[in-house]
Amino acid sequence: MPREGAAADSMRVHVALVPDDAARRRGGDQIGDDMGARVSGCTCALAGGPHPALPDLLSYSPGRGTRTATWKTARLSATQASDLDTAACIVADLAVAARSVGTAYVYNSWSNAIATRTKLPPDDAELIGTYIDHAFGLPHKSRDERHRRGWLAEFLFSLLAERIGTRTDRNLLHVEGPDWHATKPGRDSLVIWERSDGVVEFRLWESKQSVGSTPVSSSVTEATTQLRTSALSYLAQATSIAAAAGAQSGPKVRAIYADLARLWAVGSPQAGIGISVTTTEAKIPGRCFSRVSRSFPRLSSPSQIEGLVAGVADFAVFADVVRDRVWTPL
């Protein structure tokens, strides 16, 4: 999303939603390595039973058509009705958990109402609505479709980030979740990895959603322009949250947050960018990202320019289903 200014960080969801991080808090319950094992706010056919981790529901393939970038596709087909049902359930549950991180009451109230198939009391509905409004809107106050899909595209990327890594010789240390507002100024995500040789590297990601007839390549071009013109500014802004990130994910993360802008400015091999586009399955292109490198001459290795095209059935429909499940107890 197009962003400027440091204010966005104050409301960013700084939760590393990945299995390898220290166990995450969801509504007061401790979640371990299988982040999909227990879904308290279940809205699918698996109620009462174990759920898979969301990344396991998609299939992944290496992208083709360029030697100057490294990219993948992630696919969840419209023919996988059961998996789509489960995915919508997991995403809705994790979205409420992420947006209410720090207050167990909000997630617990929402998930308990889901489990008991009851509506929230008016006071709780107003409170919980405050946490979900800017991502999903409310039943009586809808949000712009591009806004809703944009936030969801950023959130899905944060959930899939570990699986879409394009190299096997590194481990994920930290993923930034989306901002409180999808259209607030600033970066969309920052992903931090540690290579097998101990070097810590980062990728600054721009996330887009693409529905309708506009090709995915148009979204890639838009993201490329934003990163070319604003990457250094985005990274400079990010250094201000180094202490908070380090408290969550350790000193290695804190150290690279403090050095992000310098690493980018000198063209360090530790620096890189990524572009993700979440779209409808039928729009996944055969070739993509071939022109991105022209805008980043300092990124000399294809591994420094990463990409993801995630095709989720009919993404517009999926986004509406997730929204409706978040709204269920309101």
Per-residue pLDDT of the chain (330 residues; tens, 9 = 90+): 444 333 334 344 444 433 333 333 233 332 333 444 569 899 999 987 899 999 999 999 999 989 999 999 999 999 999 999 999 999 999 999 999 988 999 999 999 999 999 999 999 999 999 999 999 999 998 889 999 999 999 999 999 998 876 667 899 999 988 888 766 667 899 999 999 999 999 999 999 999 999 999 999 999 999 999 999 999 998 887 655 545 556 889 888 999 999 999 999 999 999 999 999 999 999 999 999 999 999 999 999 999 999 999 999 999 999 999 999 999
Look at residue 184 and tell me if it is in a domain: yes
Look at residue 121 and tell me if it is in a domain: yes
Q: How far is it, in rounded angstroms, from Cα 6 to Cα 241?
A: 10
DSSP 104: H
pTM score of the predicted model: 0.88
Beta partners for residue 210, in sequence order? 279
Look at residue 1 and tell me if it is in a domain: no
Look at residue 120 and tell me if it is in a domain: yes
Look at residue 72 and tell me if it is in a domain: yes
Q: Calculate the dihedral angle through the C-alpha atoms of 297, 299, 304, 305, rounding to the nearest 10 degrees.
A: -10
Per DSSP, the residues of 253-317 read HHHHHHHHHHHHHTT-TT--EEEEEEE-GGG--SB--TTGGGG-TT--SGGGEEEEEEEESSHHH
**Domain limits for position 100:** 6-327
Q: What domain count does the chain have?
A: 1
Residue 178: enclosing H or E segment and its boundaries?
none
Look at residue 63 and tell me if it is in a domain: yes
Determine how β-strand 200-210 pairs with β-strand 189-195: antiparallel
pLDDT at 166: 62
pLDDT at 43: 92
Look at residue 162 and tell me if it is in a domain: yes
Look at residue 30 and tell me if it is in a domain: yes
Instruction: Give residues with Cβ within 8 angstroms of 85, minimum separation 6.
Output: 44, 45
Instruction: Give residues with Cβ within 8 angstroms of 72, minimum separation 6.
Output: 60, 61, 62, 63, 164, 166, 307, 308, 309
Secondary structure of residue 110 in the 3-state scheme: helix
C-beta of residue 63 within 8 angstroms of C-beta of residue 309: yes
